[in-house]
Amino acid sequence: MSEPRTLLTLVVLAACGAIGCGEGAQTGSDPCAGKSLSSGTREVVIESGGRERRFVLSVPESAVNGRPSPLVIAFHGVFSTPEAFLAVTGFEEKAAVGGFVVAAGAGIERSWNAGVCCEPAMSLGIDDVGFTRDMVAAVEDELCIDPERIFATGFSNGGAMTFRIACDAADLFAATSPLAAGIATSCAPVRAAPILIIQNVDDPVVPFVLGEVAFDQFTALNACSDARVTDEPASNTACEAAPECGRGTTTEICAVSGISHVWPGGATDPAGPFRATDAVWDFFAAEVP
């Protein structure tokens, strides 16, 4: 072997040792390398904003398959808990079918500081946006999560918190879906992002008009055109979508009739023809496949 070729060989071998070549390079490029493959549901406690905070993490076997998985962050209603939210909505069962991870947060004294409500979190000035970011980071540290498919949903006070996430954390969340909630007047997302608003027409706690106001606000924030598409996915539900919004996203509202302040099609509305959990996940999966 000539001296120049020998020198070239030594350079290549040194480079391979530094960055990895062949089979080693493939292993190093595995986005899930070193991540947990454990499934199940458990409580996780972290520190956020100088406080001990907790959330319930549900990881189905279908979400630890060696590929980056979607993550859904869920917010319970006021006076509720993450355990109750999961039980009522059936999101654990949906996650098993859809192959995604669910992290259901616990608000301070069962409340979230959504900017428009609720007590005592709002009066205490709890940084629940910061907690949400910390929750996502904690899940990402352990599990193989797709950073382009992180979503948020919630009900009532948790729905208002979801609106706040859509306003204040659009850089992190790919799409959101608030249910039975209102939105703070100040909202300035850093980018257009898909949103599905679900509002109960006969809700005695959160008037339906708040959903309509939020829909109008987000069609403006998302720079949607005047084009509208209507649909009736169930006998008690009518939806209106603005399909031509910034970054190719969709802004949608679904009006559910005949039920009060409950999660449509959940454990408190078992006979409801509109299944909100299915609709929320189907929206996320379609908007960010």
Burial of residue 223, with CB atoms counted within 10 A of its CB: 0-12 exposed, 13-18 middle, 19 or more buried: middle
Q: In this predicted model, what pLDDT tens digit does every residue of 82-117 receive, in sequence order?
A: 999 999 999 999 999 999 999 999 999 999 999 999
The whole-model pTM stands at 0.90
Residue 2 domain flag = no
Residue 8 domain flag = no
Residue 275 domain flag = yes
Residue 11 has a pLDDT of 35
Residue 123 domain flag = yes
Q: What is the CATH number of the domain that holds 197?
A: 3.40.50.1820
Residue 105 domain flag = yes
- The predicted model gives 126-153 an average pLDDT of 98
Residue 227 has a pLDDT of 98
- Range(s) of the domain holding residue 159: 35-287
Residue 139 domain flag = yes
Whether 77 and 126 have beta carbons less than 8 Å apart is answered as no
Percent of the chain with pLDDT over 90: 88
Q: In this predicted model, what pLDDT tens digit does every residue of 175-188 receive, in sequence order?
A: 999 999 999 778 99
Residue 289 has a pLDDT of 83
Residue 68 domain flag = yes
Number of domains in the chain: 1
Q: In this predicted model, what pLDDT tens digit does every residue of 2-43 receive, in sequence order?
A: 443 333 333 333 334 333 443 333 445 899 999 999 999 999
Residue 4 domain flag = no
